[in-house]
Chains A and B, each alone.
Chain A
Amino acid sequence: MTTKLMGQPVQRVEDQRFLRGGGRYVDDVLAGSASDTGQQVLHAAVLRSPHAHARIVDIDVDAVLDLDGVHAVWTYEDLAGLSAPMADPLPLLIPHPALTHGRTQYALARHEVNYAGEAVAFVVADDRYVAEDALARIHVSYEVLPPVVGIEAARAAEHLVHDDPDDPAGPVPGNVGARLEQSTGDAAAAVAAAPHRLALDLEVERSACTPLEGRGTVARWDPDTDRLQVWTSTQSSTGVRAAVAVKLGLDLGQVDVVTPDVGGGFGVKINHPWPEELLVPLAARALGRPVKFTEDRREHFVSSAHERAQVQHVEVGFDDDGRLLGLDVTFWHDHGAYTPYGLIVPIITSTQLLGPYKPEVYRVVFESLYTNTVMVTPYRGAGRPQGCFAMERTIDAIAAYLGKDRAEVRAVNFIQPDEFPFDQGLIFQDGRELEYDSGDYPQMLEKIKALVGWDEFPAFRAEMAEQGRRVGIGLACYVEGTGVGPYEGAHVHIETTGKVKVATGLTTQGQGHATVFAQLVADELGVRFEDVEVVTGDTRRMPYAVGTFASRAAVMSGSAIHLAAKRAKEKVLRIAADALEADPADLQIVDGVVSVKGSPGAALDLGTVSVLSNPLRYAFDEASKAATQFSVGDPGKPPVAEDDEPGLEGRDFYSPERATFASGMHAVIVETDPDTAEVKILKYAVVHDCGHLINPMIVEGQIHGGVAQGVGGALYERMAYDESGQLLNASFMDFLMPYVSEVPDGIDIDHLETPSPLNPLGIKGAGEAGVIPSAAVFAAAIEDAERIPITAMPISPSELFELRRTHDRPVVEPAETPHPPKETP
């Protein structure tokens, strides 16, 4: 008997490949010598701007032309001749009415460069070494312009990022790309009328996804069929396909995009098309040879995307219990040099800031600002960590002001379990109402308090203090809108061997989709898990798809696959019922065999049902003889009924009305070193609710990874730009990504499962959860240990040391009550 696999910690099928070195990442495509691959691939390299802001006066490529092994060198001037649309700026993927001054870069810079790292010239050569030799011989004359670096400089607008007189789009006044306000009422009045008021100024710095594999693209043009094959390390195969077709002037049907194994994404690979995703196919077509671009680590730092940087101002009014009566938030978002991904990140900050709480009145306004730095697109969490930081810092400040337990102040503001669906009265990132579908925040709070030992902490603190040790505890809560639309689809094909081939269009970057989706199909179809094979991110197999972001893959493709498998099953039962002369309702499918319940003799395997589903003229093996024209069918009817199709397939799409809302709470106990101000993690606890779990092992893995990224973002990682817009730490030597020594030794995890009513499986997304509350929870714990308000993250030991000095807090025992934030006048 088949056991239900939903909810089981099934080992991953993809690991067999990965563990033997058999992963197929984009740089592995066409790797090896020409004798192995049939055709020697050419390698591309990109000349990047050394300046953050400059006008291009002249580019001299003469010295490259006679270099042995160089096949092409292109600048902006060459693009129109290769394909007219290539001369236009790259697409602005997600337009929004508030994005009044959206700007995107050109595939190769036209008149001006707006960040150090922007693509200026493109070389194709025999190998990457020669291509880089060629880059060194290109001479570019720049007229250096004053750069705008950081939110303060952007707001001051002493200089403008976009003021190129030759730019047909015109200047961007004040460096403001967009201003967006949403409110549920008069928040300022509500704050003013409240019994208590506080104001907070907060700041979060830049970080980045930094997957271990950078970006990369390979393309091969087939002149015999006039078709282009592209492999790219992306989070949206269909998005790249559409963009490549448009930019190269091809019909969509001429372009296939395959996303092979991807060595991590975390958001950065959802932006598309990157310049190289167009230039590589363009070169493959122009040169008639396969071309490959593989980003190196420095390039990833200076030419992919960053996130997180915001400055926030919060005004809050509350009652004696800490109940939020009015919340008025203003923030400034640094979106870097361009806005290809629209306003998604600041919109998410502004809406998801509310978390599990229900302030009586809320207003938020943000400005999205240009700076001469690498552009900003979503990084795991996508604006939520900043929103969570603002909200949770505010609640902690209220608790400190009222002298109340921080957990209690949270509890009085929670949306209650009987209030779902709960409409927050705002518009979310998908253009739909921000309406939470389900959750149980009070129960979750009890769980996290028990898991971390919240009530026992004062005794622990006292015990530590006796030993001269300083510890603090922090708590942070969040709600995450997951599984946003518009849709995903799935195709399930039962072959005549009985094997089941499943395709969904979104891509995979390590989430174990081949395993979890096979679990769902095995359950629904009643086939062996081993007989199900899942393909993702291949436009040849499923051309209708959106992509992998916003913790949406399990919800969207999981639901679509479930529905498609259901359709395939209906057809199996219909055909089998005919063949077995039984009622479909009396049939069962177990381990790939359809049988009549209670009479095990009457049975057909799925392979045979598949044979019967496809009326044949020509037999190709023993089994298929059964489907040929003299064997089956009623001569009085068409072989394929009018409302039917040949083949044993199911295809369906899932398109929900709105996102489903997962939630979680993290708590951390830290110890701060009295001398060095180093922060040590003593305990890290997570309670997480993503509805029904498909594979708890994989969900926990996602949480582990998110927490580690959160630790990096809270304590170590930042993008160190100097005032001229140079990124000073563009390497893994200087950008402090956590090793094992920086992450907690053990993460305590507990789950709550409040199913989503919006999809057939009752699931919610889990991918981003681990990273959302990190900045907030560490700030709270460090503040608790040090009794110094923590308002900016990340925080390094030297910054904490400085804070101690400015607060005149040398090595002393913690004061009894935290330092209260200032009351607004």
Chain B
Amino acid sequence: MSEEQHDVRLVVNGVTREIRVPARRLLSDALRHDLGLTGTHVGCEHGVCGACTILVDGRPMRACLMLAVSAEGAELTTVEGLTEPDGSLSPVQQAFAECHGLQCGFCTPGFLTTITAGLRENPHPTHDEAREMVGGNLCRCTGYQNIVKAVERAAAITAETAAAVAETAETPEGAAR
């Protein structure tokens, strides 16, 4: 006997997607296997490792602990949606590359989404706050040393970019644009 199917509308990285899934389908599986967005990884399926963290209406959530049907209408951001509109790396992504904040890359998407949300809430974390910000995600490769550095570097890049934008805005050429 086939399972009852449900129509679900998800807004993923700004694009509305419609899928038909059983009620028990995990959001992580829907993203990966129904929508083909394989950037979100599944490391434990019980909400501990954080690899599947995505942003749900801007807040970091474990996609393996949500059902796809419960995300109806929500705005979801996955790692694929973190890059800048022009396709360049976001400050958090850029910081990870500069600081060697990843090795095998499997846990990385969950760190990137978590830190993206964390820095929105606290753009100037202290060192302890930077450690705290990544305290709920597991990484088996890096020993976290360079991930913490990447949090601090991402905050610095964001601040530098903001300063540069402010400076451009103050100049006549900037104002003319």
Question: Which residues from chain A sit less than 8 Å from chain B, CB to CB?
Answer: 11-12, 14-25, 27-28, 31-33, 36-37, 68-69, 127-129, 209-213, 261-264, 266, 296-297, 509-512, 697-698, 700-701, 704-709, 731-733, 737, 739-741, 743, 745-747, 770
Contacts and interface: CB of A to CB of B under 8 A. Distances in A.
Contacts of B22: 129
Interface in B118-156: 127, 131, 134-148
Interface residues of B, number: 61
A707 B143 CA distance: 7
B143 A14 contact: no
A708 B143 CA distance: 5
Nearest to A43: B33
Most chain B CB inside 10 Å of its own CB: which residue of A28, A511, A700, A733: A28
A15 B102 contact: yes
B26 to A, nearest CB: 9
9 contacts: A12-B100, A32-B36, A212-B51, A297-B45, A510-B104, A704-B142, A705-B103, A731-B44, A740-B147
A297 B37 CA distance: 21
B27 interface: no
B136 A21 contact: no
Nearest to A698: B100
B36 A213 contact: no
B97 A701 contact: no
B48 interface: yes
A530 B88 CA distance: 18
A732 B138 contact: yes
B39 A20 contact: yes
A709 B104 CA distance: 15
What 3 A-B pairs come out closest when comparing CB atoms? A21-B39, A32-B36, A263-B106
Contact of B139 (A212, A296, A697): A212
A596 B155 CA distance: 49
B106 A746 contact: no
B104 A213 contact: yes
Contacts of A129: 22, 24-25
B1 A213 contact: no
A263 B29 CA distance: 18
A36 B36 contact: yes
Nearest to B19: A33
Contact of A743 (B37, B43, B89, B144): B144
B82 to A, nearest CB: 8
Contacts of B177: none
Interface string B40-80: 11111110110100000000000000000000000000111
Contacts of A212: 41, 43, 49, 51, 104, 106-107, 138-140
A721 B138 CA distance: 24
A292 to B, nearest CB: 10
B143 A747 contact: yes
A25 B140 contact: no
Contacts of A745: 127, 131, 148
B54 to A, nearest CB: 11
Most chain A CB inside 10 Å of its own CB: which residue of B34, B100, B138, B140: B140
Given A22-B39, A704-B145, A740-B148, A264 B78 contact: no
B145 A732 contact: no
Given A27-B42, A211-B104, A704-B146, 10 more contacts: A15-B105, A18-B105, A20-B89, A68-B1, A129-B22, A212-B104, A213-B43, A701-B146, A732-B48, A770-B143
Contact of A211 (B25, B29, B106): B106
Contacts, number: 186
B35 interface: yes
Given A704-B145, A733-B48, A741-B135, A19 B106 contact: no
B98 interface: yes
Contacts of B143: 704-709, 743, 747, 770
B104 A701 contact: no
Contact of A297 (B2, B44, B104): B44
B41 A18 contact: no
B112 A19 contact: yes
A264 B45 contact: no
Most chain A CB inside 10 Å of its own CB: which residue of B35, B51, B134, B139: B139
B4 to A, nearest CB: 13
Interface string B1-32: 11000000000000000000010110001001
Contacts of A510: 102-105, 141
Nearest to B39: A21
A23 to B, nearest CB: 5
Contacts of B97: 11-12, 15-16, 19
Interface in B84-106: 89, 93, 96-98, 100, 102-106
Nearest to B95: A19
Contact of A20 (B44, B80, B100, B103): B80
Given A213-B43, A264-B106, A512-B103, A740 B140 contact: no
A209 B104 CA distance: 14
Contact of A31 (B38, B48, B49, B140): B38
Given A14-B105, A212-B49, A510-B105, A264 B33 contact: no
Contacts of B82: 20-21
A61 B76 CA distance: 41
B96 A15 contact: yes
Contacts of A17: 105
Contacts of B140: 209-212, 264, 266, 705, 709, 737
B15 to A, nearest CB: 14
Nearest to A213: B106
B146 A261 contact: no
Nearest to B83: A20
A642 B135 CA distance: 64
Contact of B142 (A266, A701, A731): A701
B37 A740 contact: no
Nearest to A128: B29
A127 B32 CA distance: 13
Contacts of B48: 731-733
A128 B28 CA distance: 13
A608 B80 CA distance: 39
B79 A20 contact: yes
B49 A18 contact: no
Given A15-B96, A740-B131, A732 B44 contact: yes
Given A129-B24, A297-B45, A733-B46, A261 B104 contact: yes
A32 B100 contact: no
Nearest to A66: B1
Contacts of A31: 32-33, 36, 38
A707 B146 CA distance: 13
B80 to A, nearest CB: 4
Contacts of A737: 138, 140
Nearest to A695: B100
Contacts of B100: 11-12, 697-698, 700-701
Contacts of B43: 212-213, 263, 297, 732
Contacts of B134: 740
Most chain A CB inside 10 Å of its own CB: which residue of B35, B100, B103, B104: B104
A780 to B, nearest CB: 21
A210 B104 CA distance: 13
Contacts of A701: 100, 103, 141-142, 146
A745 to B, nearest CB: 7
A516 B88 CA distance: 24
B46 A297 contact: yes
A33 B36 contact: yes
B36 A21 contact: no
Contact of B141 (A16, A20, A705): A705
Nearest to A69: B2
A255 B82 CA distance: 38
A20 B113 CA distance: 11
A11 B104 CA distance: 14
Contacts of A705: 103, 140-143
Contacts of B25: 129
Nearest to A265: B104
A741 B133 CA distance: 11
